Amino acid sequence: MITLRRAKENDIELIRDIAAETWPSTYLDIIGQQQIDYMLEKMYNKGELLKQLMEGHTFLIAEEGSNELGFAGFSIADHEAKIYKLHKLYVLPSAHGKGVGKILINEVFNQVKVAGGSALELNVNKHNKAREFYLKGGFNIKESVKIDIGGGFVMDDYVMEYKF
């Protein structure tokens, strides 16, 4: 049975490990190894993840027994409009097809709804097959963005939105 738990500070290394294992199979053909290395270091270093936890990001860890299978991370992005942002949702390649992503996104929906959220937004690379997962889950493409992330790299994404 797959269960979810809220991550704590001592789970930072686990989150980093899952990201390091999932990113190559997700992004290698899209952005290449150099950009993967750059983004993992920029967005998943211990200090950045700790800062996100301290700023109120919620990280959910999906487990089956003692095996961690994936995680999701989200936070409020706009207090006034009650818009939340899904920052991260990654499932280990070995756990694909078990419904882990669906369980994670459904729990994010539940928590955002309970908190009074009006919408959940996310960015997804335009060429990432996860885009289809989000469309099937009720998200709509809101806009197309190109974000300069430094190091000569750009994120070419869709901003997707799920309205409650």
DSSP output for 67-136: EEEEEEEEEEEETTTTEEEEEEEEE-GGGTTSSHHHHHHHHHHHHHHHTT-SEEEEEEETT-THHHHHHH
pLDDT at 122: 98
Residue 136 carries which side chain, given as an amino acid letter? K
Which residue ranges form the domains of the chain, and what is each CATH number?
A: 2-163 (3.40.630.30)
Low-confidence ranges of the chain (pLDDT < 50): none
Residue with structure tokens 């409650």? 164
pLDDT at 114: 97
pLDDT at 109: 98
pLDDT at 7: 97
pLDDT at 106: 98
Tens of pLDDT along 117-129? 999 999 999 999 9
